[in-house]
Copies of this chain bind each other. A is one copy, B any other.
Amino acid sequence: MKDKTFLMIPGPTPVPESVLLSMAKHPIGHRSTEFSAVLKRVYEDMKLLFQTKNDVLVFTASGTGAMEAAIFNLVNPGDKVLSLVIGNFGERWAKISEMKGAVVTRYTVDPGCAIDPAEVKKILDADVNKEYKIVTLTHNETATGVTNDVESIVKIIREHGALSVVDGVTSLGALPCKMDEWGIDVLISGSQKGFMIPPGLSFLAASERAIKVSEECANPSFYFNWKQNRKSVLDASTAWTPAVNLFVALDTALQMMKEEGLENIWARHARIASAIRAGVKAIGLELLVKDEKVASNAITAVLPPEGISVPDIRKTIKKDFDIVVANGQKELKDKIFRIGNLGFVSDRDAITAIGSLEASLYKLGYKFELGAGVAAVIKTLAEKA
């Protein structure tokens, strides 16, 4: 059957019909008053999503573009950067920093673990000459389904004096992330995750402190230039021709998000992810993240049962039930599969996902109490309703 595919990967994520249809309208002129009105709303609403008073820049680019926008406007060759790495996307901060000429120190933990704030404090306390200019970290690591305690870590970074640069690609619009309250210096995100629109836009907000540092940056990016893009936010315009249709889609999605309310959105993600975790465990499968306190409420990484391979599970659930779950990345490839519940995902989808996972494992010959997963999902959803 065609057109039945349902994405439960950590992006792209499902997109509401009203958003798809608004995106399919004829493009409007990007210098028109109509589009300026769209931009005005989007720039305003993004502040709510970022929980900040700072301007939020919107780039026509994927999340990696916003990461480049952060680093290429801050780092000068030779600058020292500390990268806190808990997975593939934490490593990306390090690589981009090196590309701009930074001297990067990585602090890496095992896949499935979070950064212990106490360890960060130790490292930064040891940096008595305050050589670290920037500390990069990931809020919600897409590769492993771990959520870092950004609030505590950023507080420590601030006490040291370095700038905190945080990847909120799979956290914004899904998990609480409070830029101003937590004191984050640079926060970035992407459209195809909690924002319920297709990939193609990414976002960046910077604190006054960070903006000051950016003014001393040699050879920054032109396309991702902070100064040029900030000027455009003030004018309710964009520096370059934007992906007009994606901005219109974003505008539609942000109105939906405001109607639901941020707190409700966060609670929904927490409820559905808890239900998925409970379901997975009830089937007898192991979670990659052992410490439930740091388990992501947007992405759940699952180990396959012995004797059944990740590719077989992914193939079966796709072929028989039209659900796409993600493989692991790099060294985690074929070792885990990842179920996303980012954005436009409802309680019903948790039942669907675990029910279809049960059916797929049943077909692949795994022995377990059929229905136990769905039962655990239903109970958890009811408890957290």
Contact = CB atoms under 8 A, between A and B. Distances in A.
Contact of A219 (B12, B77, B224): B77
Interface stretch (A17-25, A151-159, A173-181): A17-25
Given A12-B244, A26-B20, A101 B7 contact: no
A311 interface: no
Interface string A343-366: 000000000000000000000000
Contact of A20 (B12, B25, B190): B25
Contacts of A62: 60, 240-243
Nearest to A22: B24
Nearest to A100: B219
Nearest to A318: B32
Name which of A7, A14, A72, A222 has the most chain B CB atoms within 10 A of its CB: A222
A68 interface: yes
A38 interface: no
A12 B238 CA distance: 14
A29 interface: yes
B61 A223 contact: yes
A241 B99 contact: no
B27 A244 contact: no
Contacts of A101: 218-219
A90 interface: no
Give the bracket for the number of chain A residues in contact with chain B: 35 or more
Interface stretch (A110-118, A192-200, A368-376): A192-200
B32 A15 contact: no
A27 B360 CA distance: 24
Contact of A241 (B5, B60, B64, B220): B64
Given A200-B242, A200-B243, 20 more contacts: A3-B25, A7-B26, A7-B29, A11-B241, A12-B28, A32-B324, A60-B62, A63-B240, A64-B223, A65-B223, A68-B221, A68-B222, A77-B219, A101-B219, A198-B244, A198-B245, A199-B244, A200-B200, A200-B245, A243-B243
Rank and list the top 8 A-B pairs by shortest CB-CB distance, nearest first. Answer: A200-B243, A24-B24, A12-B27, A64-B240, A68-B223, A99-B222, A62-B241, A198-B245
